[in-house]
Amino acid sequence: MNMDHSKIPQATAKRLPLYYRFLKNLHASGKQRVSSAELSDAVKVDSATIRRDFSYFGALGKKGYGYNVNYLLSFFRKTLDQDETTNVTLIGVGNLGTAFLHYNFIKNNNTKIAMAFDINKEKIGTEVGGVPVYDLNKLEEHMTDDDIPVAILTVPAQAAQSITDRLVALGIKGILNFTPARLNVPEHIRIHHIDLAVELQSLVYFLKHYSMQEK
């Protein structure tokens, strides 16, 4: 199906991942069709908006039938580029890094950890979860092509900034930072920071706070 993406309003485009996730669940549960009312209920968008959004995709619901789930799903898959795999590199094959290498990201969102790096001689040259672990000193040798736009950082905090600088020099576009370090990067680079210790602490804080109010 050919479509001019520039014709889809931004507000509609923003709702696409929401629709997509819901339709995947529907499909997994074996449903063949869905009405705009059901969709509306699930994604909390009014059904007139859903019908208008879907008309941009060339999906016209039939009265008393609704929308064909398979059709919509294949449309969303194409539109959201979910058929394309994004390669990721992981730096720091410790406990957390090892867990990520064993975890199959590709099942959920079509990202694939293609290579990993560490400084520990015992880890260099091994494979973890099917992913080769290389010497961090050879980062520039291995990351030669432009096909790894994302890095996951699971190194000790004090190593994070200098590794980040090297990744930036290599043209990385986004970093998922699991270290407690705050990273300095040029504006065009996107950093998502996940500090697990802080997240856990804040959850515990909110639980305590909440239960105090209840007492």
What is the rounded radius of gyration, in angstroms, for the C-alpha atoms of the chain? 22
Which residue type is seen at 98? T
For strands 190-193 and 174-177, give the pairing: parallel
Q: Under the criterion CB under 6 A, does residue 121 sit at the interface with ligand ATP?
A: no
From candidates 25, 55, 104, 120, binder to ligand ATP by CB under 6 A: 120
Select the span of 2-10, 29-37, 61-69, 116-124 touching ligand ATP (CB under 6 A): 116-124
Select the span of 1-9, 24-32, 85-93, 198-206 touching ligand ATP (CB under 6 A): 85-93
Between 72 and 167, whose beta carbon lies closer to ligand ATP? 167
Select the span of 16-24, 51-59, 117-125, 140-148 touching ligand ATP (CB under 6 A): 117-125
From candidates 118, 151, 176, 181, binder to ligand ATP by CB under 6 A: 118
From candidates 58, 94, 125, 180, binder to ligand ATP by CB under 6 A: 94
**CB 126, CB 133: distance < 8 Å:** yes
From candidates 53, 92, 113, 183, binder to ligand ATP by CB under 6 A: 92
Q: Under the criterion CB under 6 A, does residue 122 sit at the interface with ligand ATP?
A: no
Q: Give the Cα separation of 67 and 91 in Å (integer).
A: 44
DSSP state of 110: S
Q: Is the dihedral of CA 79, 82, 85, 88 positive or negative?
A: positive
**CB 150, CB 130: distance < 8 Å:** no
Q: Under the criterion CB under 6 A, does residue 58 sit at the interface with ligand ATP?
A: no
Query: HSE on the CB side for 130, CA within 13 Å?
Result: 7
Between 10 and 158, whose beta carbon lies closer to ligand ATP? 158
Provide CB contacts within 8 A for 159, sequence distance 6+. Answer: 92, 179
From candidates 8, 96, 115, 189, binder to ligand ATP by CB under 6 A: 96
Residue 132, both tokens: 């080769």
For strands 127-128 and 131-135, give the pairing: antiparallel
Between 61 and 97, whose beta carbon lies closer to ligand ATP? 97
Phi/psi at 175 (5° precision)? -130, 130
| Residues tagged in the binding site annotation for NAD(+) | 92-97
Residues lying near ligand ATP in the complex (CB under 6 A) are found at: 91-97, 118-120, 123, 136, 154-156, 159
| Residues tagged in the binding site annotation | 92-97
